[in-house]
């Protein structure tokens, strides 16, 4: 079943990133520096019935892992209902979510009630002032408290992501702080290279920093690269026998980054995106109105997969039709 979603380059796709909203309540400089503004005359986001029909089709295609993203997915009033629905679907073995951690201290127990298998939290710095500078919000303490609550309840599959920004969070002091944090909290932490999108060229030119800086830091301290598993994301992961957590690096500008691609994306309005930086999207929504349309949905996805390219060509300045990461679920 898992081999149904396979492209012409031999890559399999057991993993879907499903955005359920474009709305975000943070103002991160690299994504939505002015906050979210609802575009005029645009369709709404997929409703829970459409999501259910979509997940049924994906399960038939052998998808075993779904990551719920946004925007910020928790701003949807039915977020927890959506999570429970996906978790209940036969064939979906792993349900994970990416969140900015807003009100995590108050929502931690509700997350656990959904049966979620993993939570990724965006924390761009452990320095409270830098965190506020990057995100536009002074929310770091409540996010860290939320992590403590999750762990106190026995939930430990927590990953923290940070976007690597030149002259902001790319210093040895920042790296040392993260090493201490993951060791004390047994958490996996990954730096992500800042990516150019349609709206952030000036910001990209000013703040892009190669992930090589962080890789050199961890390798100099004895961290060793480990192999990916089948449904892992694109991170290179590192372990150190003397440290409890893991370090990771997501470097989309590195050579052969797309060689191990194993995921497709679906936007909050029901567009299939073969690549984060693709030039086209395929509207699935008209096939999400009735359960009886599942075969047509499956056929459409299989047909479109033939057009997936070998690379995102990001290194050539190609940003496709992605204005900012909130529009397609990062």
CATH number for 209: 3.20.20.70
- The domain containing residue 216 runs over which residues? 2-327
Each of the 330 residues of the chain gets a pLDDT tens digit; together they read 446 899 999 999 999 999 999 999 999 999 888 888 887 777 899 999 999 999 999 999 999 999 999 999 999 999 999 999 999 999 999 999 999 999 999 999 999 999 999 999 999 999 999 999 999 999 999 999 999 999 999 999 999 999 999 999 999 999 999 999 999 998 999 999 998 887 888 999 999 999 999 999 999 999 999 887 766 667 889 999 888 899 999 988 777 778 888 999 999 999 999 988 777 889 999 999 999 999 999 999 999 999 988 887 666 666 665 666 666 665
DSSP 249: E
Query: What is residue 3's predicted lDDT score, i.e. its pLDDT?
Result: 62
Helix axes 104-113, 79-87, angle to 10 degrees: 30
Closest by CA to 124, choosing from 190, 176, 187, is 190
Whether this prediction's pTM lies above 0.85 is answered by yes
Contact at 8 Å (CB) between 121 and 101?
Answer: yes
- Residue partners of 81: CB distance under 8 A and separation at least 6: 48
Query: What is residue 257's predicted lDDT score, i.e. its pLDDT?
Result: 76
Closest by CA to 189, choosing from 161, 218, 150, 217, is 161
Exposure letters 231-242 (e unless 16+ CB within 10 A, then b) = bebbbbbbbbee
Q: Token pair of 215, please?
A: 């890789």
* Chain-centroid distance, C-alpha 152: 25
Q: Token pair of 120, please?
A: 């990724």
Distance CA(175)–CA(170), nearest Å, equals 7
Query: What is residue 1's predicted lDDT score, i.e. its pLDDT?
Result: 46
What is the tally of structural domains in the chain? 1
- Could you report how far apart the first and last alpha carbons of the chain are, in Å? 27
Q: Element (H or E) spanning 75, and its range?
A: none
Distance CA(244)–CA(187), nearest Å, equals 8
Query: Residue length, the chain?
Result: 330
Distance CA(316)–CA(328), nearest Å, equals 20
């Amino acid at each position: 079943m898992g081999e149904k979603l396979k492209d012409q380059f031999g890559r399999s796709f057991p993993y879907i990133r499903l955005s359920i909203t474009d709305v975000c309540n943070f103002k991160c400089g690299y994504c939505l520096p002015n906050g979210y503004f609802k575009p005029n005359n645009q369709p709404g986001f997929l409703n829970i019935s459409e999501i259910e029909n979509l997940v049924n089709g994906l399960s038939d295609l052998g998808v075993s892992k779904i990551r719920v993203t946004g925007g910020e997915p928790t701003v949807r009033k039915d977020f927890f209902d959506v999570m429970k629905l996906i978790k209940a679907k036969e064939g979906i073995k792993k349900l994970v979510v990416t969140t900015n951690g807003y009100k995590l201290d108050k929502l931690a127990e509700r997350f656990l009630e959904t049966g979620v298998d993993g939570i990724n939290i965006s924390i761009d710095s452990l320095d409270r002032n830098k965190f506020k500078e990057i995100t536009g919000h002074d929310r770091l303490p409540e996010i860290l408290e939320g992590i403590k609550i999750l762990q106190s309840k026995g939930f430990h599959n927590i990953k923290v992501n940070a976007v690597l920004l030149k002259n902001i969070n790319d210093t040895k002091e920042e790296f040392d702080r993260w090493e201490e944090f993951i060791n004390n909290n047994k958490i996996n932490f990954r730096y992500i290279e800042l990516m150019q999108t349609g709206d952030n060229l000036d910001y990209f030119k000013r703040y892009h920093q190669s992930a090589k800086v962080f890789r050199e830091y961890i390798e100099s301290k004895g961290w060793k690269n480990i192999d990916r598993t089948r449904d892992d994301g694109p991170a290179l992961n590192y372990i150190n026998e003397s440290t409890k957590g893991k370090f990771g690096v997501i470097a989309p500008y590195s050579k052969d980054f797309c060689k191990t691609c194993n995921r497709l994306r679906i936007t909050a309005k029901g567009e299939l995106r073969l690549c984060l930086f693709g030039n086209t999207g395929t509207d699935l929504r008209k096939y999400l109105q009735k359960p009886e349309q599942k075969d047509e949905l499956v056929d459409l996805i299989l047909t479109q997969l033939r057009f997936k390219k070998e690379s995102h060509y990001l290194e050539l300045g190609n940003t496709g039709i992605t204005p900012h990461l909130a529009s397609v679920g990062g």
